Amino acid sequence: MPPARIDVRVDRGVGIAHLTIHNEQKLNTLNSALMEELAVAIEDLAGDETLRAAVLTGAGERAFIGGADVGEMSQLDAVSGRAFISRLHRCCQALRLAPFPVIARMMGYTLGAGLEVAAACDLRVAAETAVLGMPEVKLGIPSVIEAALLPTLIGWGRTRRMLLLGETITAAEAAAWGLVEMVVPARELDSAVESWIASILQAGPRAIRLQKALIRRWEDLPLSEAVLAGIDAFAAAWETDEPNRRMRDFLARRKR
């Protein structure tokens, strides 16, 4: 069995990073070593000011991330359990704090820890065959950390249904709920990702980073403070010539 690893490939020509979780024979489940490797990889990429976006996926066609490693979890106690789940939270937090958008490319099983990682990404596209769920209660543990993002995405009722019943849902149901932004046939998954990447590349690089940072702040702020944070972000856009240059180009095209 090949060793589990995180593969990172950066296309410097366009500024896109591709991260692939390689643990295919175990449905790309995350053990502590993989969690550490994934967190470090994302944190390292966050320091690269040339990056425009990143794509996160799992190797093969059977799973995006099938969950956390049950074999390892079966040996945990209260102390080691806290350390284990904190490592997973570090991965999710790194995705949320990355200054560029992260797209979750989801094929097959996206369960438990996998769904928490997907929820921490900015955009989610799933193959029609994807299966999503939070089955932790069936293993005697609650769904935690970035499962807290689910109510914002799908509402409290559906969150309770997923977490308390441990059910799985189809990709079509996930799209109807707002848990994923797009569902496509498996053969079109890469094309869908590429269409989103193309849209990001057409936008102002600094504007995209300002927008992600602002969205992240909106999640934590009361409405009145969120509005004021937007004013700050709008003003900050003019700290470079990106708005003036792009608006001049826009006006010039209209005159043609």
Print pLDDT tens along the chain (256 aa): 788 999 999 999 999 999 999 999 999 999 999 999 999 999 999 999 999 999 999 999 999 999 999 999 999 999 999 999 999 999 999 999 999 999 999 999 999 999 999 999 999 999 999 999 999 999 999 999 999 999 999 999 999 999 999 999 999 999 999 999 999 999 999 999 999 999 999 999 999 999 999 999 999 999 999 999 999 999 999 999 999 999 999 999 988 7
Predicted TM-score (pTM) of the model is 0.97
Report whether CATH 1.10.3720.10 matches the domain 204-255.
Answer: no
Domain locations along the chain: 5-201, 204-255
DSSP conformation letters of the chain: -PPPEEEEEEETTTTEEEEEEE-GGGTT-B-HHHHHHHHHHHHHHHT-TT--EEEEEESSSSEEE--B-HHHHTT--HHHHHHHHHHHHHHHHHHHH-SS-EEEEE-SEEETHHHHHHHHSSEEEEETT-EEE--GGGGT----GGGGGHHHHH-HHHHHHHHHH--EEEHHHHHHHTSSSEEE-GGGHHHHHHHHHHHHHHS-HHHHHHHHHHHHHHTTS-HHHHHHHHHHHHHHHTTSSHHHHHHHHHHHHHH-
Reported CATH class of domain 5-201: alpha beta
